[in-house]
Amino acid sequence: MYDLVIVGGGPAGVAAAVYAARKRLKTLLIVEEWGGQSNVSVDVQNWIGTPSITGIDLAKNFRTHVEKYKDNFLEILFPARAASLEPSEQSVTVILKDGKRHEAKALLIASGARRRQLEIPGAKEYDQKGLTYCASCDGPLFADKDVAVVGAGNAGFETALQLLAYCKSVTLLTRGDSFKADEVTVAAATANPKMRVIKNAELLGVVGEQFVTGLRWKSKENGKEETLPVEGIFVEIGLLPNTEWIGKALEMTEFNQIKVDPKTQRTWHPRIWAAGDATDGLYHQNNIAAGDAVKALEDIYMSLRRSQPERP
């Protein structure tokens, strides 16, 4: 029986594992992939304490850091994939894809999320060659360039606001004739003279040479096809939480994000916590995921210590 099982090898999972090891909780860290979503970023510039690092190197640093604590208290399973979950009043059991079962007094879910992919011709070919899913990570690389944003929700307009600070121009394209974003956010972005919005746009393909040079689209109103000349394309069409393996064991939002108490990161189940992009937190970034995981770990530690009998 472990004190704690942690599922996830991104910033949340690794941060929690380091803290758990330092507190000498008997912990099992289950990792399918190191690094989380930033693993595909060419240049991460917002990881605190590190001005610039590739996503691959950041993932390596995560692994190196947590493996320094690997001992009698911390065990790491890699590669391993959680397949299902069986909670009870006294413990939680995680079942892996290979059928092995691991029981603990507490569970921290940090399985993250994946970006909803843009599925048009050229999108895969130019991924990380001008097309990106992380403005916070890659945005500054496009300073003084013309860029496009795909997506009309809050994430799309917030990305546009961020890019407007340093890009030459920002064009946001949406397939509908209205926006899903808050009116205040839309107003702030569209007030900028460098901002352009194209509604009723059907995306046809990403074009380029070695890197992106444009985005082909067709007007749903008149059927006219055009190529928007841009050097960067930022895709913000939603996140897909990696929570399918949880099934109906926990309370979820309509978007399959785990509902947590923001003060403690605890779920409705008293022995399960969650942190990072798998949760219903308002914002999702590497630093936020790590902070939420540390918050969860502190609460887990206190919860486990309170449940232990007093020494004579």
Q: Give me the residue spans of the domains in the chain.
A: 2-115+239-307, 131-235
pLDDT at 184 over 50: yes
What phi and psi, each to the nearest 5 degrees, are found at residue 197? Answer: -120, 130
Residues 6 or more apart from 258 whose CB is under 8 A from it? 109, 241, 243, 246, 250, 251, 252, 267, 274, 278, 279, 280
Mind telling me the catalytic residues? 134, 137-138
Within 10 Å of residue 36's Cβ, how many Cβ atoms? 28
**216 and 205 Cβ atoms separated by less than 8 Å:** yes
Percent of the chain with pLDDT over 70: 98
For domain 2-115+239-307, the CATH class is alpha beta
What confidence score (pLDDT) does residue 55 get?
87
pLDDT at 226 over 90: yes
pLDDT at 146 over 60: yes
Query: What is the pTM for the complete model shown?
Result: 0.79
pLDDT at 218 over 50: yes
pLDDT at 310 over 80: no
The tokens describing 222, both together, are 């008149």
Domains 2-115+239-307 and 131-235 share a fold: yes
What confidence score (pLDDT) does residue 311 get?
41
Torsion sign (Cα): 9, 14, 17, 18? positive
First-to-last alpha carbon distance for the chain, in angstroms, is 23
What confidence score (pLDDT) does residue 238 get?
84
CATH homologous superfamily of 131-235: FAD/NAD(P)-binding domain (3.50.50.60)
Model confidence band, residue 233 (pLDDT cutoffs 50, 70, 90): very high
**4 and 105 Cβ atoms separated by less than 8 Å:** yes
Q: Parallel, antiparallel, or unpaired: how do β-strands 201-208 and 212-219 relate?
A: antiparallel
pLDDT at 75 over 90: yes
Average pLDDT across the chain, whole number? 94
What confidence score (pLDDT) does residue 136 get?
79
